[in-house]
Amino acid sequence: MSGREKVLEQVLSGGLYCITALALSQGRSTVAVVAAMLEGGARIIQYREKRVSRLQAYQECVAIRRMTRALGAAFIVNDHCDLALAVEADGVHVGQDDMPVEVVRRLVGPHMAIGLSTHGPAQATAALFLPVDYIGVGPVFPTSTKEDVCAPVGLDAVRHAATQALPFVAIGGICRHNLAQVLAAGARSVAMVSEVVTAPDIAARVREVEGLLAAASGTGSPMPPE
């Protein structure tokens, strides 16, 4: 299975999309955080660290690639195509202000997944005509985990994405307490950042969220009411 196929399989199957955030990780290293995510059963990891040196990023991604490969989890690098290629990541995720995805596809080739952040129905629809494999939809709710974040797009953007053909991950301000709303709007895959990386026991938090997602999809016990 190619990296591209692995990412698509995980996004389409639904579940928790884990993203690193060193600044929120309560003094724990990014590698330690990812190890805990994987211990909890995370199946897809995105490395998103914008304030570390390129050498540190490379070294961390080498370690994370080794761990994710051993456990069969998908590994995505945010923004940097060269870093994704250097560590043989399964995918790269870019934003609206990054390198055009047509260029990204030429650089990474046909076997690496490309994710694209979108911030509203117009961008989500435009992505249908781009060489991307999935889109991020958000921020759904207000969030402070990312600098220069745009205004929340709300649940209507999730509902719109759910009517389109592209797989998508809902992101932005999503936590256990509003998860049911996001799933009711049509999301299957959701990204949580602070809800996971700030948890005292990251592995337990991942298991808890995955349990809620499984319950909502009908593969587990019913989701408790909010």
The CATH number for 211's domain is 3.20.20.70
Q: Is residue 37 part of a domain?
A: yes
Identify the domain containing residue 96 by its residue range.
3-217
Catalytic residue from among 6, 43, 105, 117: 117
**Total domains in the fold of the chain:** 1
Confidence category of residue 82, pLDDT binned at 50, 70, 90: very high
Average pLDDT for the chain: 94
Q: Is residue 72 part of a domain?
A: yes
Catalytic residue from among 43, 146, 188, 205: 146
Size of the chain in residues: 226
Q: How many CB atoms lie within 10 A of CB 128?
A: 11
Closest to 191 measured CA to CA, from 207, 214, 168, 164: 168
Residue-wise pLDDT tens digits, 12-50: 999 999 999 999 999 999 999 999 999 999 999 999 999
Q: Is residue 225 part of a domain?
A: no
Q: Is residue 224 part of a domain?
A: no
Residue-wise pLDDT tens digits, 156-199: 999 999 999 999 999 999 999 999 999 999 999 999 999 999 99
CA–chain centroid gap for 52, Å, is 20
Q: Catalytic: 117?
A: yes
Provide the whole-model pTM. Answer: 0.94
Q: Catalytic: 54?
A: no
What is d(CA 174, CA 143) in angstroms, rounded to the nearest whole number? 9
Q: Is residue 48 part of a domain?
A: yes
